[in-house]
Amino acid sequence: MRSLALILALLLGGCGLLPELKDETAGWSAGRLYSAAKEAMGDGSYDKAVKYFEILESRYPYGRYAQQAQIEIAYAYYKANEPASAIAACDRFIKLHPNHPNVDYVYYLRGLVNFNEDLGILGYISMQDQSERDPKAAREAFAAFKELADKYPNSKYAADATARMKYLVNALAWNEVHVARYYLKRGAYVAAANRAQFAVKTYIDAPANEEALFILVKSYDALGMNDLRDDAERVMRTNFPNSDYYKRGLDRKEPWWKLW
């Protein structure tokens, strides 16, 4: 036992002989920390930039750089492709500084993070089935951009946010239409009609609604719901009088929707 105690004492005492890790930022001013963080950002060293910004905020929480550091941290996480951390940083800033003169930018950044997180549902180049995608990020991006446009209509970011909202509306509508088409091809006509109807009612004026109405006509016809089918056709002809879906079927004995 005495030997064991002696060994432990030597080990613990030896810990004090190890050199202490040196903090390279010890004694740095807030301005120097901020400059170093921005330099790291410029070099693409986003993890290093976040480290400097966090040190700055902890050491100088009431200085003029602290609030800007919080914004920069959110942007650094965004550039580092860490969307969850970027959104958390944006939410924290909005909660702590709802009246900050640059809070409109933080709303915009929060929208951008979600907008870019899942471009798979927004672009049409991915091989993944659209019906398998989760439009959660697109919906959250839309909500952030809408909040910015509603609260700060004169913001320099409002015009771009509005343009992205229009894009998102059509992307979300297409997502619903892809799902509806998936159900239609598999004979799940009730499910197809429900998704197509949701797209038409929710995303008004979206170009995707042309196909959504076509799916409604096809689904109601397959279900023998002739009144609803005819109503859907009337809406389609009113809004899309030159649709390719029925142009080839006009002057034929078979109804146009039977040709597909």
Is the pLDDT reported for residue 258 higher than 90? no
pLDDT score of 162:
94
- 152 or 132, which is more confident: 152
Binned at pLDDT 50, 70 and 90, residue 218 comes out as: very high
Residue 46 lies in a domain: yes
Is the pLDDT reported for residue 44 higher than 70? yes
Answer for the pair 88, 114: CB distance below 8 angstroms, yes or no: no
The per-residue pLDDT for range 25-38, each reduced to its tens digit, is 888 999 999 999 99
Once rounded to an integer, what is the mean pLDDT over residues 207-218? 94
Residue 151 lies in a domain: no
Taking CA 209 as the corner, what is the angle to CA 205 and CA 215, rounded to the nearest 5 degrees?
A: 160
Residue 197 lies in a domain: no
Q: First and final CA of the chain: distance in angstroms?
A: 88
State how far the Cα of 65 lies from the Cα of 59, in Å rounded to an integer: 11
Q: What is the pTM assigned to this prediction? A: 0.73
Structural domain harbouring 96: 30-100
Once rounded to an integer, what is the mean pLDDT over residues 49-72? 92
Residue 13 lies in a domain: no
Residue 198 lies in a domain: no
Once rounded to an integer, what is the mean pLDDT over residues 176-186? 94
pLDDT score of 260:
63
pLDDT score of 122:
45
- 14 or 43, which is more confident: 43
pLDDT score of 136:
86
**Among the listed residues 259, 232, 237, 234, the one whose alpha carbon sits nearest the alpha carbon of residue 248:** 259
Residue 85 lies in a domain: yes
Residue 177 lies in a domain: no
Is the pLDDT reported for residue 153 higher than 70? yes
Binned at pLDDT 50, 70 and 90, residue 251 comes out as: very low
Once rounded to an integer, what is the mean pLDDT over residues 170-186? 93
State how far the Cα of 58 lies from the Cα of 182, in Å rounded to an integer: 52
Residue 11 lies in a domain: no
- 196 or 257, which is more confident: 196
Our count of domains for the chain comes to: 1
Is the pLDDT reported for residue 230 higher than 70? yes
Binned at pLDDT 50, 70 and 90, residue 17 comes out as: very low
Instruction: Read off the CATH number of the domain in which 86 is found.
Output: 1.25.40.10
Binned at pLDDT 50, 70 and 90, residue 12 comes out as: low
Is the pLDDT reported for residue 94 higher than 80? yes
pLDDT score of 236:
94
Answer for the pair 17, 43: CB distance below 8 angstroms, yes or no: no
